[in-house]
Structure 1
Amino acid sequence: MEVIGPVRYLKVIARDSTGQGHADTVLYQFFEHDQLQRVATNADLRRLKTLGKTYLKCAWFNTDESEERHLRIFSQNPSADGTPEQVRLHFHEGPLIAYKAAAQDLDNDGELELIWSSDVDNDGRSNRTDRSRVTALVKQFLKLGW
């Protein structure tokens, strides 16, 4: 069976541009069919502010100008009714997915009933805080309508 990737996704890249050991810069790129469509505009940046703050808490960043470590976040609509029922988060290390998280709306009522996550904030524990971060990232992503 052929695995098909997301058609549209938001790529989030955090960088430690000062060398202080924590990310201080977040970049956002919108992709369609693995082709860059655009980088975030000023209007997007205002809407992405909370998503960026939450993503920085995940401690998944680059210590240089690379994009090796990044998040790809996308929604899926298995029922084909036009509303997202699943949102997936793929934390990449280069071309490989280092770990995943997801949220699902089981009854398509706009509420997320299931949250799957591992240790998304890289503190050595997979717990309620990780699920809370995934929920926040998903909700902010869905507000974009992307």
Structure 2
Amino acid sequence: MRYLKITAQDDYDNDVIDAVYLEFFDGINPKPDAEALVMNTSKHDHGKLKWVLADDIDGNGVCNKVDVDLARALARQFLKFKWWKVDPPFDRYLEIYSEDLDLDGKPDLVRLRFHQGEGVPSDATLVKAAACVFLNDCAGGNVSLHVNTNPTDDARDAALVVGLCRDFLKCDWNNTRTTGPCSLIGEQG
């Protein structure tokens, strides 16, 4: 299964988050297939995320400004959730993945799973979750939102979920299957 894991850290030990790590995994391989690092360049840059180093995260075969802009957008969206700690252990992370519910070759469900703990994402480390279903309209307004968090969550939180899901879909890092013809009749010899 393909998924994105996002973590944030206080690398300069100045009590602010100054580094956001994006790791794109494919299957159970313990190493990411693509990575991005988004950082502030000094203590005066808090929240600006000026410095970006990104692999080809949109899957077009080229590392370019599009990848940099996409990494920065995902990092900024992630920080708005405040799912991080400035003190070690930096064990909070967000797992994001998409699915193709209607098997048309395009993702229409994006899941956000907020974890706390080390190792690969599991139900034991899951703290809260949200899902966004794009009803054949990833760019438009046909969205069904499902959030499993605090009952005090409001429209702002829902907008954050939808925004991050839309940005994630731009990565084209999804779990879609191309269906082929189905053969129920065995070959006769």
Which category describes the TM-score, using the shorter chain as reference length? 0.7 to 0.9
> Any residues of structure 2 matched to 1:90-101 within 5 Å, and which?
90-94=113-117, 95=122, 96-101=125-130
* Alpha-carbon offset, residue 34 of structure 1: 2.8
Q: 2-side partners of 1:38 and 1:52: how far apart?
A: 15
Q: Name the larger-Rg structure.
A: 2
Equivalent-residue separation in structure 1 for 2:13 and 2:152 (angstroms): 26
TM-score by length of 1: 0.80
* SS of residue matched to 1:144: coil
Residue 125 of structure 1: which of 152, 160, 184 is its match?
A: 152
- For structure 2, the residue ranges without an aligned partner over 5 or more in a row are 37-53, 56-63, 174-189
Corresponding residue of 1:4 = none
Q: How do residues 1-146 of structure 1 correspond to structure 2 at under 5 angstroms?
A: 7-35=1-29, 36-40=32-36, 41=54, 43=64, 44-64=67-87, 66-94=89-117, 95=122, 96-106=125-135, 108-110=136-138, 111=140, 112-118=142-148, 125-146=152-173
Please give the TM-score of this superposition, normalised by the length of structure 2: 0.64
The structure 1 segments of at least 4 consecutive aligned residues displaced by more than 4 Å after TM superposition are 64-67
Contact 1:119/1:130 (<8 A) preserved: no
Q: What one-letter code is carried by the residue in structure 2 that aligns with 1:78?
A: L
- What displacement does 1:109 show? 3.3
Q: Quick one: distance in 1 between partners of 2:14 and 2:107?
A: 38
- Find the aligned partners of 2:127 and 2:82 in 1 and give their Cα distance: 13
Q: Structure 1 vs Structure 2: percent identity of aligned residues?
A: 31
Uncovered stretches (5+) of structure 1, i.e. residues with no partner: 1-6
Counterpart secondary structure, 2:131 = strand
| Alignment RMSD | 2.3
1:22 and 1:79 mapped to 2: Cα distance?
42
